[in-house]
Amino acid sequence: MSLARFVVWAPRRSAVTLMIKKVGDSTPVKVSMERDEEGWWSPAEPLPDNGIGELDYGFLLDDSDTVLPDPRSQRQPDGVHGWSRTFDPGEFVWSDQKWTGRQLAGGIVYELHVGTFTPEGTLTAAIDHLDHLVELGIDFVELMPVNAFNGPHNWGYDGVLWYAVHEGYGGPLAYMQFVDACHRAGLAVIQDVVYNHLGPSGNYLSRFAPYLRSDAGPTVWGDEPNLDGEESDEVRRYIIDNALMFLTDYHVDGLRLDAVHALHDTRATHLLEELNIDVSARSTFLRRPMPLIAESDLNDPRLITAREGGGYGLTGQWSDDFHHALYVSLTGDTSGYYADFDSLAALGKVFENGFFHTGTRSSFRGRTHGHPIDTWRTPTWRLVVCSDNHDQIGNRAAGERLSSKISPAQQAIAAMVTLLSPFTPMIFMGEEWGASTPWRFFTSHPEPELAEMVRAGRLEEFAQMDWDTSEVSDPQDLRTFEVSRLDWSEVDQTPHAELLELTKRLIKIRRSYSDFTDPRFDQGRAVSNDEAGWLLIERRDMIMAVNFRDRPTEVDVGRAVEPVLSIGQVEVVGDLVRLGPHSAVAADATEPRRGVQGGVSPLAKHRIFSAGGRPDVAVRGSSGTA
C-alpha cells in the first residue's frame, strides 16, 4: 500500500495522526504525519507491515481522541461514522476491454434505485435483471446515488462520503462487478452524483478543512460545498476528482449531476464548466464518450451550449417542462407548479422549442422564468424527458406512480409520446410494465431529532404545494421503504405484460423510423385543440395524433397516412384520423402535406430502418381510470 493512499487535506489543523490497524485487529497503531505547504498531511514514519494487506484506518485531528473517516474513503464497512477501509480498484480484473462507450444521442435511459430495484436491494441482485433491460431496448442504466449515507436505506441524496459506495449495496467491489456486467450486456452506466450539498448525518468534512460554505447555514437538504470562497480550489478538486474516479477507476460511462441550480458558484469559470473541461480531457484520453447530464429547473440553455458558444458544454439536461406538460395533459391536475401547463399547447410548445418557460411568466414562481433554446443549433437529444421519475413519484404525498392515477390506455399514450419524441427518453424502473408499487420518500436516520426534522419538513413541502398532507407517509417508517420495492411477479400479469410488450414495440419503432429521432427542432411541428382534446405532432413524414380526452374526437392531418401503431379505437379515412376516447396513433405519411406546391414536402421523405417489416400494432385499453 502506497503512503500516498493515506494523505489528507487539513490546512487549518496543527496536528494530524493516522490511526491504522489490520482488519480484525483490536489495537490500532498511531502514525505521526507531517504537513506540506498546501495543507496536505502524509505519514512521517513507516506504516505497520509496510501498509500491505487490507487495513482499517482513520485520522485524529489536533488533540481530539475521535477517529474520523477519510474524506476520500472508498469503503466504509461500518457506516459513515466508522473507520475507513483500504480498497484498491486497480486489483479488479475487468472483462470490458472491447467496450468503447456509448453516445447519449439516440439512446434510451433507465433510472433505477439499487435498494428497491430488487427484493435484496443489492448491486449483485440487480445484475440478474440486466437481461430484462436488454430485451426492453435500453442503452443506459442510470443509478441513483450510491455514495455512503447514514442508515441502511435512503434515496441516496443524503450522502456524506462521496468516494465510498454504500456498503448495504455491496460496496465498491460489487459496484465494479455491476458496471462490468452492464458492459458485457451492451449497457452503458450513468451514475447520479450529488455535488450541491452533503447529507445531515456523518458529515465530518468541515473538521478537516473549509469544505463547506461559511457565509450560509445549511439548506433544507444539508450543508453546501465551498465552491467560491477561501481555499475553494481544493474543494473543487475534491469534486472533480470524485467524478473522474467514477469515470476512470470504475469505468462508468457518464454522470447525472443532481440539482445543479443549487450550486452556489460566483467564480469566473463555473464548476460545471471546469468539470466538463476535465472530463472532456479524460474522455479524449480513454477514447470513449463520457456524457454529463444536468438536472436543472432553471431552463437555462447555457448548460448545454458548447463552451465555444459561451456555455458550459454539458452533454444534456433533464426537461421538467416535458414531464409537467404531459402529466397535466393526462391527469388534468393543475395544482402547484403544474398550473401553467393547463393547455395541450404547452406540450406542443415543448416539442417545438424544448422548454415551455422561455422567459414567460411562471405563476408558481411569481416571476418570469427560463430562456429560449437556440433550436437552430441545439439538437433535440440534449433534453432528457420522461413521464415519471424518482422525484415526480417520490414527491407526491403517497408516492404514487403515474400508472396509479391513469388508465392502461393513458399509460400507453404516455409511453408513446415519450418514446417517440425526438428527445432522449428516460424510463423509471417498473414504468415499462406500469408497476403498481408506489415509490415513496424514505430515510433511516438513527438520530431522533433529525428524523423528526425530516418528517416535519416533508409536511411543510406538501403544504406549500396546496396538497393533502394526510396521505404523506412517514419517511422513517420501515414500511415506507419496503412497499417501494418493485414486484417483479407483475411482469407476466395482465395488464402489466401488455404494457411491457407495447413499450418494447415503441422502442423498436423508434429505431425503425429515423424521423422520430431526427434531432433537428425545425423538422417538426405541433398543433393542438383543447376543446376537442387532441394533439398532433409531426416529425418530418411521421406523425403522432393523440386524444387525451375521454370522448371521441377527430383530427384532419392534411395528408394520407398509414398507421404504424394504434392505441385504443383509431380509424383513418383519407386525411381524417378518428380517435376514440384516450386513443392515439403513430403513422407514416404516404403523401406530402396538403397545400405543398410541386408535390414535394418540405419535410423530406424519411428512410425506414426495418427490424422485421413495417409493424402494425393495435393496443386496446380501457378509457376509464385505472
pLDDT in tens, 450-473: 888 888 877 777 766 666 677 788
Please report which confidence band the pLDDT of residue 157 belongs to, taking 50, 70 and 90 as the band edges: very high
pLDDT computed for residue 3 by the predictor: 46
Q: What are the cell numbers at 213?
A: 460554505
Q: Which of 142, 112, 135, 107 is nearest to 510 (CA)?
A: 107
439 and 417 within one domain: yes
SS (H, E, C) 47-87: CHHHHCCCEEEEEEECCCCCCECCCCCCCCCCCCCCCEECC
Helices (H), 185-333: 205-208, 232-244, 271-286, 320-331
Please report which confidence band the pLDDT of residue 598 belongs to, taking 50, 70 and 90 as the band edges: very low
Helix 344-353 and helix 320-331, axial crossing angle in degrees, nearest 10: 150
pLDDT computed for residue 463 by the predictor: 66
- Catalytic residue flag (residue 230): no
Question: What total number of domains does the chain contain?
Answer: 3
Distance CA 113, CA 33 (A): 40
**Contact predicate 449/157, CB 8 Å:** no
Predicted TM-score (pTM) of the model is 0.94
545 and 496 within one domain: no
371 and 471 within one domain: yes
pLDDT computed for residue 595 by the predictor: 59
Q: Is 553 helix (H, G, I), strand (E, B) or coil?
A: strand
169 and 129 within one domain: yes
364 and 382 within one domain: yes
Q: What are the cell numbers at 58?
A: 482513520
DSSP H/E element including 501 = helix 496-510
Burial of residue 554 (number of CB atoms within 10 Å: 0-12, 13-18, 19+):
middle
Q: Which residue carries 436505506 as its cell?
A: 153
pLDDT computed for residue 287 by the predictor: 97
- Catalytic residue flag (residue 258): yes
pLDDT computed for residue 467 by the predictor: 66
Distance CA 201, CA 445 (A): 8
In tens, the pLDDT along 228-279 reads 999 999 999 999 999 999 999 999 999 999 999 999 999 999 999 999 999 9
pLDDT computed for residue 215 by the predictor: 82
Please report which confidence band the pLDDT of residue 602 belongs to, taking 50, 70 and 90 as the band edges: very low
How far, rounded to the nearest angstrom, does the alpha carbon of residue 108 sit from its chain's CA centroid? Answer: 12
**Res. 604: pLDDT tops 70:** no
Domain membership of residue 559 (yes or no) is yes
581 and 556 within one domain: yes
Picking from 133-147, 185-199, 214-228, 565-579, which range would have the lowest pLDDT averaged per residue? 214-228
Which entry of 139, 158, 180, 258 is annotated as an active-site residue?
258
pLDDT computed for residue 466 by the predictor: 64
In tens, the pLDDT along 353-400 reads 999 999 999 999 999 999 999 999 999 999 999 999 999 999 888 899
The amino acid at residue 52 is: I
pLDDT computed for residue 245 by the predictor: 98
* CATH number of the domain enclosing 613: 2.60.40
Domain membership of residue 81 (yes or no) is no
556 and 463 within one domain: no
58 and 197 within one domain: no
Mean pLDDT (the chain) is 92
DSSP H/E element including 42 = strand 40-43
If you count DSSP H runs as helices and E runs as strands, how many of each does the chain have, helices first? 15, 27
Contact partners, residue 118, CB within 8 Å, separation at least 6: 125, 126, 128, 129, 485, 486, 488
Domain membership of residue 328 (yes or no) is yes
Q: Average the pLDDT over 595-600 and give the result.
A: 45
Distance CA 621, CA 354 (A): 30
How far, rounded to the nearest angstrom, does the alpha carbon of residue 388 sit from its chain's CA centroid? Answer: 11
Q: Which of 477, 504, 531 is the last residue of a domain?
A: 504
Distance CA 358, CA 525 (A): 17
Q: Is 219 helix (H, G, I), strand (E, B) or coil?
A: coil
Q: What are the cell numbers at 167?
A: 456498503
Domain membership of residue 353 (yes or no) is no
- Within 10 Å of residue 289's Cβ, how many Cβ atoms? 16
In tens, the pLDDT along 407-450 reads 999 999 999 999 999 999 999 999 999 999 999 999 999 998 88
Which entry of 111, 142, 274, 295 is annotated as an active-site residue?
295
Give the whole-number percent of the chain exceeding pLDDT 90. Answer: 84
Q: Which of 180, 225, 186 is nearest to 206 (CA)?
A: 225
Domain membership of residue 93 (yes or no) is no
**Contact predicate 380/520, CB 8 Å:** yes
In tens, the pLDDT along 297-344 reads 999 999 999 999 999 999 999 999 999 999 999 999 998 889 999 999
In tens, the pLDDT along 73-113 reads 999 999 999 999 999 999 999 999 999 999 999 999 999 99
Greatest CA separation for the chain: 88
Q: Average the pLDDT over 520-540 and give the result.
A: 97
Q: Which of 504, 531, 546 is the last residue of a domain?
A: 504
Q: Average the pLDDT over 16-24 and give the result.
A: 95
pLDDT computed for residue 515 by the predictor: 97
pLDDT computed for residue 464 by the predictor: 64
Domain membership of residue 354 (yes or no) is no
Distance CA 90, CA 100 (A): 19
Q: Which residue carries 442510470 as its cell?
A: 142
Q: Which domain holds residue 10?
A: 3-68
* CATH number of the domain enclosing 47: 2.60.40.10
336 and 193 within one domain: yes
Please report which confidence band the pLDDT of residue 45 belongs to, taking 50, 70 and 90 as the band edges: very high
**Res. 66: pLDDT tops 50:** yes
310 and 248 within one domain: yes
524 and 493 within one domain: no
* CATH number of the domain enclosing 369: 3.20.20.80
Please report which confidence band the pLDDT of residue 610 belongs to, taking 50, 70 and 90 as the band edges: very low
Domain membership of residue 97 (yes or no) is no
In tens, the pLDDT along 496-526 reads 999 999 999 999 999 999 999 999 999 999 9
Q: Which of 465, 487, 504 is the last residue of a domain?
A: 504
**Contact predicate 471/398, CB 8 Å:** yes
Domain membership of residue 350 (yes or no) is no
Q: Which of 334, 429, 441 is nearest to 398 (CA)?
A: 441
494 and 564 within one domain: no
